[in-house]
Every structure is written in C-alpha cells, then in structure tokens.
Structure 1
Amino acid sequence: MNAAATPPASQAEQDLSVEGLAAHTGVTVRNIRAYTTAGLLPPPRLRGRLGLYGDEHVQRLGLIRELRDQGFGIEAIRRIFERAPASSWPDLVAVARSVSGSLFAEETPVVVSSEALAAKWNGQMTPALLARAVKAGLMRELPDGQVQMLSPALGQVAEQLAALGLPLEAAIGMQETMARTLRTVARHWLRTLADSLLGGDAIDPTRTAQLLEKARPLATGAVQAAFPVILQQELDTLLRKTA
C-alpha cells in the first residue's frame, strides 16, 4: 500500500463518527447535535456524507460537561468559547472540577469503617440509608469498604438529632433537603460569578480560580448569616398557624 494513502495515527484517532464521539465522551448523540446547532461545537468535517469529529470536539464536549454540571447556561458556555483560547480550556476544566461540591466546604473529611458508622446510631445506618447519604454528597464509599464523611460536623449534628429521638432516616432526609438547597445556592453563586468573569474581552483562568477561591468564605458567611433569620421567620409562621 502506498504510504501516502495511510493517514497518520494521530489523524486516524481524530476521525470519529458522531456515534464514536458519543461513546468516547459520554455525551449523547442528541446532545452533540444540539450543541452543534447552538454553536458550541463546530460542524464535523465531511468525508462524503459522513461527518467526522476530532480532538477539538472532544475537548469542547469535556468542558461543556464540566460547566453544565456546575449550572452554567448555554450562553455562558458560548462566551467562554468565544473569549477563552483553546490552550486555557484544560485550566478552566480544572477550575470547574475544584469548585464542584466544595464552594461551602471547609472541613477535613474523616474516614471511618462501616461498622463504626453503624455503631454511631445504634445500628440504624442501613445500606439503603448510607446510599442516600452518598447520593446526597454527604458521604463517599471508598474501595476498601470504609466510608469518608465529607462533613464530620454534619455527622455530629445527625448524632445529636438521634439523641433527641429523631430517627436516623428522618435526619438524613433533612440533610438531603439541605444539600439540594445549598447546591442550588452554590450554582447560583457560580452562575453570577461566571457572568462577571465573562463580561470582559478575554478569560483568565488564573483570575477565575482566585476569584472563586475568595468567593468561598463569602458564600459560607452569607449562608451562616441568612439561615438563622429565615429559620426564625419560619418558626414564627409555624407558631402562628398552630396557635
């Protein structure tokens, strides 16, 4: 075979059908086409009637997934692609990952055995309840069977609620609601910051990381300041209804 007829390995690796791109990135074919229509992905290179996708599509989809997970909208992501050079995309992905689930996190996680965890609540911690706590983002099961408590303080709160007679299932239910609410708050903060960061002509990943790092204690302080006020207002409303 003529050597010129054989594409280089790097070129061959870049030639992905839309189904191959979906399998490679974990993004559905439907979403790939939707992102293309929205202008987030460039059209594929055509070989006859077959559309072929390359490294840029893979990189863009990786960044899109990370930013969508953080609550960034389509328009915000489009502005990132317009104003951030491709060389900065890995840095932006790293920033997005570092912020994920940690905007309010300031504690050092604690690892405990599953047996010790169950003993904390007099055997109430069933595999089903542990799965719910893991899904809520409050705990993480490790490969060796131990459990990482991402917020030891929350664990102590659950223990204190159990001591007051509240079933562990109810305590976890309360924490699930709190986790969902705070995740919504965190994503709103991130979207607001993103709008500010994307307001200029260029995006600086270093400045982005610095701003998000400074925003963490401010966000924590805002939640700590607002929650007691809102809790008292809701308590007053409840007492008026039961009076």
Structure 2
Amino acid sequence: MPDRTADSLSVEELAARVGMSVRTVRFYAGRGLIPPPRREGRNGYYGPDHIARLELVRELQAHGFTLSAIEGYLERVPDDATPQDIALHRTLLAPWMPDLPETLSRAELVERTGRDLADGDIEILVALGTVEPTPDEDVFRVAPAHLGLGVQMLDTGIPLDAAIAAQHIFTEHGRAIAEELTTVFREIVWPHYRESGQSPEAIRKLIEHYKPLTVQALVMSYEAAVNETQRETVRRRR
C-alpha cells in the first residue's frame, strides 16, 4: 500500500493520521501552527511537514505547554525545517522514562504487583515516586518501568519515613543534576551535533543514545561515591 504523505492527504486524512479531530486541525491551522496546504482548486492537501508539526504540537501539549507557549516554541522552528528537523525537536522533548505512566485502579495495581497492598505499602510506593495518587482515592498513576523496583523496596521492609527521606534526597539532587546537564547539552552538545554536518536522522539517533548513556554515567558515579563513602567510614572508625 503506498504511503500517502507526499502532500496528498485531505484534512480528514491528516486528522486521522495525527489522532486529532478535523476541527482541532483547522483550529491549529488558523493559528498558524502549520503552513497552508497545497491547493488544487478548492481542495487543500497536506503532507509530511504538516504531520511532523502537528505531532510536535501534541508532544508539547503532553509536556503541559499552553497554546501561547506552543506558538512561541514553533515560532523558533524555521519555516524551511524539514520533517526530519522537526522530529529532532520531538526527540529532545520525549520523556526519558521508557514507558508513559498508566492509570490503574487499586485492584489493578494489586494484580500488577502480584501481592496484597496495605495502605502503608501504597504510602511507601507514593513516597518512592512509583505511584502517584489521583483525586479518586482508589485510582493511581503508575510508572510501569519503576513499579518492579518499588515492589522490591517493599520487600526490604523499608520504613515509610526512610522512603520519604530518600525520595526527598533523590528529587532535590536529581533536579540540580538535570538542570546542570541540560545546560551542558544546550551549550555544548547540541551546537556540536548541529555543526557536525550529519543528517537529522543521524543526530536523532545520537540524541537517543545520549539519554541512556547519561543515566548509566550517573549510576556509575553514584556507585563510586557510595564505595568511597564506605571506605571513608571505615577509615574514621579505625
């Protein structure tokens, strides 16, 4: 089946391709978030550039951007940016967790973990950031990739106050590390990639590799710091 994306999609087909309503697509077009369609008589046709920009809009929405903020972001994307260039922006915005959070009832959470969960267990999972409460006390937002780790922490018998204290430390220092590494990426890594002359697709793959490598480097640094702290503790005791 041919790929009908070479400026041959009707507005209805474009809406279906990006998972939006026709009304929403037309609203965004009216706000200038996508370029005008190719015209043939009274008919307008859309293609890869429109798809890429609407997918970027959706990614920005998922990150909580307001409409005015989205408009400001897209104003900085050159008019002649290719769909591959725009995909780079989506790669930079993509969440670092391998799975998006899911919404589970308490019964579904019990089934997923394979164990009974007392109120205290739920509190610990919330403190660890694995589970997030919602206005409905029996419904939770769950990070699937981290749920197994949360259950293993429960198996250690960790006290609630220790879980809260640990999560506070991780959050405080994690935010500082994220801000500093973001500065490094923005001021050093990203300009280097852009000036390298590589294709947008090659740069996108490099960025995707950069994320897990950064996480692994952080884990290695933490492990080294823990070992050094243990050695220093032993030296003080001697």
Tell me the TM-score normalised to structure 2 length.
Answer: 0.49
- The higher-RCO structure (CA 8 Å, 6+ apart) is 1
